[in-house]
Amino acid sequence: MDSTLGRRDFLKISAGALAGIGTLGVAGCGNEPAARNGKKALQFTFWGSTTRATRTDKAVQLYQQLYPHTTIGTQFTDFNSYWPKLATQISGGSAPDLIQMDMRFIDQYQKKALLLDLSRFIPQPISLPDFNQVLLKGSEAEGVVYGIPFGGNFLGILYDKNLLQKAGVEMPEQARDWTWDGFAEYTLHISKALGPGVYGTEDASANIWAIETFIRQRGKELYTSEGQRAFNRQDAFDWFAYWDKLRKSGACATPAVESESSSTIPALSTLAQRKAAINFSPSNLIQATQAATPHNVGLFLCPSTTGLSDNGTYLKASMLMSASATTQYPDEVAKFITFLFTNNGAIKALGIERGIPGSARAQALLKPSLKLSDTIQLNLVHLITATSRPKLVLDPPGAGEVSDLLTMIAQGLSFGKLTAAEAADTFVAQTDQALERVGV
């Protein structure tokens, strides 16, 4: 792991810290109080890389130049450290006004009444007439907008073009030609061609988004609309057995290599460290990953199951611009959110680092300056929007813990502590327990 505090720590904190603040609610959503010294001070917290921080700060500076009576302080950290820190801030009564959110936690936060209802600011001042409606609809919770998607992304594979060339292989021309069986043969060939220490692919068995895509290819979802498990034991077994086979064949990175890397910090990924030619990754991380390696990085869709036209991939809100329900400045918050999504300078400052913007005008504004890899990402987003089955089931409050369970169980399997059958049994049983416990 790349942090001493992961999502499991966040859930432990939230079980106590967040439990006592669920009724703070909308008390701060009335008239805005008078600001000190004539200025309104907002706090904006987000996770991400230094690349994201630089882009975000530039957009904030533009806003402050246009509206000098408002100051916005920014804080950022890595993904794993972000959630326990945010829970601590909220429980201490110092929730940031502006909060970058992830769809996996929206349901948990909105059920605690911790997020500002942005629906009342739409269509004015937050005007989104040309926004991708599939993306916007997929970010709602019980029909209410609690965050505006910074952009849309999808789970794809990032690949090292230099390593593939060295191994004498190319990516398939069509996504439909990319199957899991073919992927196993392809990555094994790469491992053999590149020699010891470099592998065809990372071990993605612990990637919750990857197993979700795998399960969706079977016409299912991870969860039901009631917040229960929607996959079965066979689904879990097939997933663990597949990666166990790749691991034993040498097609994917060893547990020792994986333990020295990070799937959430691009600079520490197996791809950036040139220990694996392929990583399963959110598509918007291509920029940060490219910045971390001198090799050329490409983007493609995930493998799919033979004979299925549904790749399982879906367009996801890469992250959302949300706000605290207790902010003293709800109108100013809405004003800043509007600026981020509609101001030309802000759109250019943020670019597509957080994903392809949902606004058609923003896409058109950025398109002339996009690199080839970014254009490929944009085209794939359009393809997925037009052909994929959207995800309409919101992740339940226990989704974060399920993700942690997958990580621990996959690690246990990779180190030989569990068989694939034992991993499947454990994952199914403990998923049910987590969803029942956290969902209460």
Q: How far is CA 275 from CA 215, 268, 278, in A?
A: 28, 10, 9
| pLDDT value for 10 | 38
Tell me the pLDDT tens digit for each residue of 172-205: 877 777 899 999 999 999 999 999 999 999 999 9
CA 266, 267, 269, 275 torsion-angle sign: positive
Alpha helix stretches (DSSP H) within 14-95? 50-66, 79-91
Burial of residue 19 (number of CB atoms within 10 Å: 0-12, 13-18, 19+)? exposed
SS3 readout for 266-294: HHHCCCCCCCECEEEEEHHHHHHHHHCCC
Helix H or strand E encompassing 44: strand 40-47
Compute the radius of gyration of the chain from its Cα atoms.
Answer: 22
Answer left, alpha or beta for residue 262, where phi above 0 means left and psi between -120 and 50 means alpha: beta
DSSP state of 14: I
| pLDDT value for 14 | 41
pTM score above 0.85:
no
- CA 368/CA 7 separation, integer angstroms: 38
| pLDDT value for 124 | 93
Tell me the pLDDT tens digit for each residue of 422-440: 999 999 999 999 998 764 3
320, amino acid identity? L
Q: What CATH number labels 7-150+317-370?
A: 3.40.190.10
Maximal CA-CA distance, the chain: 67
Closest among 42, 74, 69 to 58, alpha carbons compared? 74
- CA 154/CA 281 separation, integer angstroms: 8
pLDDT profile of the chain (440 residues), mean per 10: 34 40 34 57 94 95 96 93 93 95 86 92 92 81 89 90 96 82 96 97 96 94 93 98 98 95 88 96 87 92 77 85 96 97 96 88 91 81 78 84 95 97 98 79
Q: Where in the chain is the domain with CATH 3.40.190.10?
A: 7-150+317-370, 155-313+398-438
Helix H or strand E encompassing 336: helix 330-342
| pLDDT value for 99 | 97
| pLDDT value for 8 | 38
The top-level CATH class assigned to 155-313+398-438 is: alpha beta
- CA 337/CA 25 separation, integer angstroms: 20
Helix H or strand E encompassing 299: strand 297-301
- CA 53/CA 41 separation, integer angstroms: 19
| pLDDT value for 364 | 93
